[in-house]
Structure 1
Amino acid sequence: MLWVFSMAYWAFIGLSCVVFFAGAVVVWLVTLPFDRRRVALHLYSSAWASFYVYVNPLWRLRVTGRDLVPWHGSAVLVANHASLIDILGLFALFRPFKWVSKQEIFRVPLIGWNMRLNDYVPLVRGSGESIRRMMAHCDRLLAAGSPVLMFPEGRRTSDGELQPFKDGAFELAVRHQVPIVPIAVHGTRRALPRHGLVLRDHVDVHVEVLPPIAPQDDAATMKDLARKAIASALNAS
């Protein structure tokens, strides 16, 4: 039964994306002259993504600590990554951040096109040149006052354990002297594991924003503090 529901759910997402993307193009065209940071389009995209969580009867989503994510001013947001559902849950923050995402997603029809309209940041894993372009893109966004959200593990965990963090997010925070905002995402791996598309029965997804880490002069220290904060939150659940 769950297999049938899952296939129907993914088909519904595919079909409804056509309508949502048409709306995104309208929002982009209307707001482009005065919304340089594309805040309106991102909030529209947040509603688009969150819709798929809230209409799924198998999922319950809670967001706590949302007010710790800035509306105005730069910050680097870092979250653990266990499932594709992380992305839907993090959109439910409804704050004007920019995603860093693997470049393959930007090639997905409709969803990837919307990511380009939003000026999100593509990254090719393992490519030094792509990493340099990603960091330069993030530099521009942070200088313009847009928070940036990254998965510092680099890829989804395969066993549920928090993986080592990469340096990029923390180097950005040090360079721009902006806070790191750690975010612990609970329950998404149980909702949808890394391999497979069959949804699990009744899962409580919790996006928990943790207290910001003040900017410092040492990226390694910020990385260690952020990882400990997220690990502690995940272990407490």
Structure 2
Amino acid sequence: MRLLLSILFWSFLGLSCVVLFAGAVLIWLVTLPFDRNGRVLHLYSCFWAQLYFYVNPLWHLKVDGRERLPWNEPAVLVANHESLGDILVLFGLYSPFKWVSKAENFKLPFIGWNMRLNRYVPLVRGDRASIIQMMAKCEYWLARRVPILMFPEGTRSFDGKVKPFKDGAFVLAMKMKCPIIPVVLTGTARTLPKHGLVLNATSHCHVQVMPPVDPAAFPDVATLREHVRDLIIAEKARIEAELPTPAQA
């Protein structure tokens, strides 16, 4: 049954991407003259990503704290990173922001092309020139009152533990004098299999948007960075402690 469901899911994903990308191009063309920040196209992309949760009986998503996200104010959203499924889950925020994502993702057919239409921010890991360009582009969007979203760990955690954070997001928040908004993800590690394509686990994903953190209250980037990381670790532990055990589920 899981094999059949997996075949149906991936087939639906592949076919739907063609149709939905055509819709993205149309929305981009229609809204370009009056929506220079691309908010409408981004919200359409949120629906595109969430569609795969709507049709997959194995995946469930709960979002708390969405009201804390700004619609027309700069902010740096930072989230822990457990799997590729994090991207689908975070689109469930249905709030305008620009992703910072690996440059190779922008080369993916349809999905990557849509990322280009949305003018998300590419990054080549470890490439100094790319990091400088990424920071400049993020400053551009923040100056236009558009939030950005980053994974400060830089890459996925394969053991579920929150890895050390890099400085970039916190440097941006301090320089642009805008809040950091911690976003805690749980349950996403079970969405997409690490090996193969068979969806063999039920995933109960939870997104918790935490209260904004004012960078002006901290003396330096390192102190701000570690404070936000501690908040995410503590909230993640709290949520996971409240989950039912397999015997209770």
TM superposition score normalised by structure 2: 0.92
Determine helix, strand or coil for the equivalent of 2:215. Answer: coil
Number of residue pairs aligned between Structure 1 and Structure 2: 237
Task: Name 2:247's counterpart in structure 1.
Answer: none
Answer whether contact 2:66 2:209 (CA < 8 A) is retained. Answer: yes
Task: Name 1:177's counterpart in structure 2.
Answer: 177
Partners of 1:195 and 1:128 lie apart in 2 by 31
State the Cα distance separating 1:6 from its structure 2 match: 1.8
**Are residues 1:24 and 2:18 paired?**
no
Cα 1:56/1:101, change in 2 over 3 Å: same
What does the per-residue CA deviation read over 1:170-222, in whole Å, with 9 as the maximum and x for residues that have no partner?
A: 00000001000000011010222444432233221111111111122522122
Task: Name 2:39's counterpart in structure 1.
Answer: 39
Partners of 2:139 and 2:105 lie apart in 1 by 21
Q: Report which stretch shifted further, 200-209 or 145-154.
A: 200-209
* Equivalent of residue 228 in structure 2, options 226, 229, 233: 226
Task: Name 1:2's counterpart in structure 2.
Answer: 2
Partners of 2:45 and 2:195 lie apart in 1 by 25
Letter of the aligned partner of 2:185 in structure 1? V
Partners of 1:73 and 1:130 lie apart in 2 by 26
Cα 1:182/1:196, change in 2 over 3 Å: farther
Q: Report which stretch shifted further, 190-199 or 114-123.
A: 190-199
Partners of 1:170 and 1:197 lie apart in 2 by 36
- Aligned-pair identity (%): 57
Answer whether contact 2:190 2:202 (CA < 8 A) is retained. Answer: no
Answer whether contact 1:84 1:194 (CA < 8 A) is retained. Answer: no
State the Cα distance separating 1:99 from its structure 2 match: 0.1
Partners of 2:164 and 2:195 lie apart in 1 by 21
Answer whether contact 1:49 1:91 (CA < 8 A) is retained. Answer: yes
What does the per-residue CA deviation read over 1:54-110, in whole Å, with 9 as the maximum and x for residues that have no partner?
A: 211011110000011111100000001111111111001011000000011100011
Task: Name 1:73's counterpart in structure 2.
Answer: 73
1:102-141 pair list within 5 angstroms: 102-141=102-141
Larger radius of gyration: 2
Determine helix, strand or coil for the equivalent of 1:109. Answer: coil
Task: Name 2:84's counterpart in structure 1.
Answer: 84
Q: Report which stretch shifted further, 166-175 or 2-11.
A: 2-11
Answer whether contact 1:158 1:194 (CA < 8 A) is retained. Answer: no
What does the per-residue CA deviation read over 1:129-156, in whole Å, with 9 as the maximum and x for residues that have no partner?
A: 1101100110101001100000000011
Answer whether contact 1:180 1:222 (CA < 8 A) is retained. Answer: no
Answer whether contact 2:75 2:146 (CA < 8 A) is retained. Answer: yes
Determine helix, strand or coil for the equivalent of 2:132. Answer: helix
Partners of 1:197 and 1:164 lie apart in 2 by 30
Determine helix, strand or coil for the equivalent of 2:17. Answer: helix
Determine helix, strand or coil for the equivalent of 1:99. Answer: strand
State the Cα distance separating 1:53 from its structure 2 match: 1.0
Letter of the aligned partner of 1:43 in structure 2? L
Letter of the aligned partner of 2:63 in structure 1? V
Task: Name 2:214's counterpart in structure 1.
Answer: 214
Consecutive unaligned residues in structure 1, runs of 5 or more: none
Runs of 4 or more consecutive aligned structure 1 residues displaced over 4 Å after TM superposition: none
TM superposition score normalised by structure 1: 0.97
Partners of 1:162 and 1:54 lie apart in 2 by 28
Letter of the aligned partner of 1:164 in structure 2? P
Answer whether contact 1:181 1:211 (CA < 8 A) is retained. Answer: yes
